[in-house]
Every structure is written in C-alpha cells, then in structure tokens.
Structure 1
C-alpha cells in the first residue's frame, strides 16, 4: 500500500510508481499502462482459522477395541422409545422416562430425541447403571440441542460416578457427602446454555454440587442450539488419603475443564463404578420449567479405556 497510494496524486505522464507496476499484474514491461484508478495489490489469504469448537465433531472409530460399552440407536425403528427399550439398550440398574422419548432420523443417523414439555421441569430421561470397578475411565456421548430448546435455568446431563456399596444414599440431590460416601461427576447446562461440571465429591464446598465452568479460549463456554457436541469425560481415582484424583472434560476434542486435586474416595473403598445418563431441567421448583416444548438429541454413547475424541500428548 505504501507504494500504491502516492500514485493517486501523480500525473498520468508517469508510467509506474516505485517499480515495474507488477502490483497491477501487468506482464508487459516494455509499455506499461497506468490505470485511471490504481488497483489494490492482491493480498495473500490469511492463514486458516483453527477449527471451531462449535462446528467440527471429531471422527471416531466406534469399532475400536478400546470401547467396551457402546449404544447407538441404528437398530431401533422410528417411534416411541420406551423404558423397556432404555433398559435393554443401556442395561440400567434403574431408569425413568418422564418426558417424551422417540427414535427418529436426523442427519443420516437414528438418534434418541428427548422432549421436555412446556411449563414443566424434571421431565426428561434419567438412569443409573452399575459398572465394574475402574481406576480410570472415559465416557463420551453426542448431544444436539434443538433449534427451539429452552435452556431455562439449567438442567442435568450425563456423567460418571462412584458409589460406596455400604452406603444406601447416592451422591446427588443436594445432600452433604460424608467421608467415603461416593461421588458423582455429572455436567449441567445453565442459563443460555452455559456449560458447567456439576460435581459431588469428598471436598465439595456447596450444599448441592460444586459448579465448575467449562472454559474455552479463556472464556466460559456455552452450548449453542443446532450444534452437535461430542462430550468426553475422563476420570482417574485419587490414591488413598491423597487429593490427586483427576477429572477432565473435552468438547469436540477441545479441553474445557480439568481438575487434578480431587478426592473421590478418602480411603480407596470404591472406584469408578456407576454411570448416570440424564437430561432434565431442575432444580426443585417451577422456576426451572421450560417455556416451550424443548427437544435434544443423543447418539453414540460410549465407555472406553482410551480417549476417543482427542489424543494424549
């Protein structure tokens, strides 16, 4: 530009400005022509922007030998998804469908559509599933919030947990967690889709679960409607009497949450042995209710011994 701009003010008797006139892409060097309005030189294309967390879902080999528990819905016919189907597909210990659940075709795949009815809360899907005892584990699923989804005040999402077999109460429901009474590491969406980890653990500081924001590029991360997210959670147990347990969450391959100082079991009496699969609004009051029918879609639910959506450095 420094060579071009002075040309505006020189006379047409000059045949070039600062050189051969190559900025005009004129290859005739013997008889250059100065245009009435100088052309702006071609600007090299900017480097490609990094893949956006909202736009690119990682390719995953769901036939990987590292996966030992996998659910998709391709073998299901379109129509109502019942609690019996839910139990069969997930091998649940308990299950509840209080919203509307249906199998349908979306973007070339069959998905589980969960609809929360207008003016209600705690209407959705929920289950608990016993696992073997694992010291570390990966749990992933794909979720898409529909174009009319009302995030309202927030709602629960899936996550891994560890239950003490000698304690009847589960580590959820806004209860105090005593020493070695289990842990649960679900996620939540909050107002306008803001995403958080919602953690019950031995050192929690709130009456309900501790809330830890997902972070991406230095800012709080929020889900967008009509975008598909592959959420992958990693949990590693702490050593007995040490606060060195790990939980990380990746969204579409980007790390959005990491804690490496967690206490999941004080004395190592249990390990990762439970899976929550949930999607419902609440909260315990009508202020959490949705103001319109709201549908979200699940697919590709997997438990594995290695990460599926990202590589370990």
Structure 2
C-alpha cells in the first residue's frame, strides 16, 4: 500500500499527495451470514512496516465494523460501529515505533470523532518484519481483545451499544490521519498487508 508524502485521510482537501485506501467487505453478500450473526468475532491479519517507514503523527489500519458502510467512521455514526487499529506518534518525523490502539466508533458517541481505546498498550515497529495482529470483538459485552504476535496486549470494555448491530465485515481502512497534511509522512512510504482471516473465537 502506497502513502504519499504529506498524505492524510481521503477527506483532506489540501494534502499534496494521496495515499492509503479503504473499502468495506460484506459478510452476508459473500455468503457468510453466519459471521454476520455471530456474537463474537476474531479478525487476524499480518502487517509489515519497512525500515524506512515514517509514522508521521498517526494513522489508521483495518478492523471490523457493523451496520451500514459510511456510518462506521467520522461524521454521522448512525446505527453502526467500527474497531479499526491505529498508530499514534508524538515523537515527530523519523520515529521507528509508535503507540498502538483501537480507534472505536459506536452509536453512543453521536457525531464527530471516535475514541482511543488502549493507547500505548503495544508498539507498532518499523522493522521490516511481518507482525500478526488480532482483534476480538464481543457484541454482547462490548469487550475488545487485542493480541500482537500471539501475545495478548489489550482486554478492555471498549465499545458500547452494538449488541443489536450485526457484524458487517472488514473495514479495510488505512491512511495517515486525522484530516490534514501534518498527519502525513515526511516522504513516500509503503506498508504491506496479507493473510486476512475472520473466525469465531
């Protein structure tokens, strides 16, 4: 995945370049209504940040979502939710690691920004190695569990009011931001993703 210098969210109007990308998968349309109706789901995939990666100020990574596409992010949340991963960096350009967290939107928040859940519970690393990331979301309890490379790093009641909103799919969403160019990298960078899997825990 390519991220251009100074790129940010798709909504950025003055960014000098574009980067990242996003789409919504749909379990039901793919013939997996059983996943949509599950009470708890586990998303696992691998990500690699190369050694020349610049974490900038922060950015998004894929997670699960429920409800209608377009209502699981910023703006009007409606009856939808999402649990994208995120990195956040206060160290400035050139940092080789950044705080990990889950960036949550749910119906309890109304409009506006999401909520940082578990910031700093783990670190993303620009080490040119594949890392396995996993999130488990329980619709009944609102519990979110995160494991990195097989080690549990987060267990938190991090999401609300989603018991009646089925799982919809994977929200493949990755970009720097935030919504302004100051979130972006100081030079063009690439990240890699592979081996996406969804299962019941």
Fold in common (TM above 0.5): yes
Q: Give the whole-Å Cα distance in 2 for the aligned partners of 1:264 and 1:247.
A: 13
What SS class does the counterpart of residue 25 from structure 2 fall into? strand
Give the superposed CA RMSD.
2.2
Is 2:45 the partner of 1:141? yes
The residue that corresponds to 2:166 in the other structure is: 271
- How far residue 203 of structure 1 moved from its aligned partner, in angstroms, is 3.1
Q: Does 1:211 align with 2:113?
A: no
The CA distance in 1 between the partners of 2:158 and 2:135, in whole Å, is: 16
- Partner SS state of residue 203, structure 1: helix
Q: CA deviation at 1:147?
A: 0.7
* Partner-residue secondary structure (3-state), 1:188: strand
Name the CA shift for 1:205/1:275 in 2 (closer, same or farther; >3 Å). same
| Pair 1:304 & 2:199 matched | yes
Deviations 1:204-254 (A, max 9, x none): 499311002355xxxx4221112321001111212xxxxx22221111111
Picking from 232, 241, 257, the partner of 2:154 is: 257
Q: Name the structure 2 match of 1:115.
A: 2
Q: Secondary structure at the match of 1:302?
A: strand
SS of the residue corresponding to residue 158 of structure 1 reads strand
> In 2, are the aligned partners of 1:214 and 1:257 still within 8 Å (CA)?
no
Determine the structure 1 residue equivalent to 2:21. 125
- Indicate yes or no: 2:61 matched with 1:157: yes
> Which residue of structure 2 lines up, in the alignment, with residue 232 of structure 1?
134
Q: Provide the secondary structure at the position in 1 that maps to 2:153.
A: strand
Give the whole-Å Cα distance in 2 for the aligned partners of 1:254 and 1:214.
Answer: 16
Q: Is the 8 A contact 1:163 1:274 kept in 2?
A: no
Decide which of 75, 83, 86 is 1:185's aligned counterpart: 83
CA distance in 1 between partners of 2:63 and 2:123 (Å): 18
Aligned length: 176
Greater Cα radius of gyration, structure 1 or 2: 1
**In the aligned structure 2, how far is the partner of 1:198 from the partner of 1:248?**
13
Change (3 A) 1:146 1:169: closer
Higher RCO (Cα < 8 Å, 6 or more apart): 2
Q: Structure 1: how far apart are the matches of 2:161 and 2:197?
A: 22
Q: CA deviation at 1:305?
A: 2.1
Q: CA deviation at 1:125?
A: 2.3
Deviation, structure 1 residue 199: 0.2
Q: Flag structure 2 segments of 5+ consecutive residues without an equivalent.
A: 10-18, 28-32, 90-94
1:158/1:278 contact within 8 Å kept: yes
2:73 is matched with: 172
TM-score (normalised: structure 1) = 0.52
TM-score scaled by length of structure 2 = 0.78
* CA-CA distance at 1:261 after TM superposition: 6.3
1:222 aligns with 2:109: no
8 Å Cα contact 1:115/1:295 also seen in 2: yes
More strand by share: 2
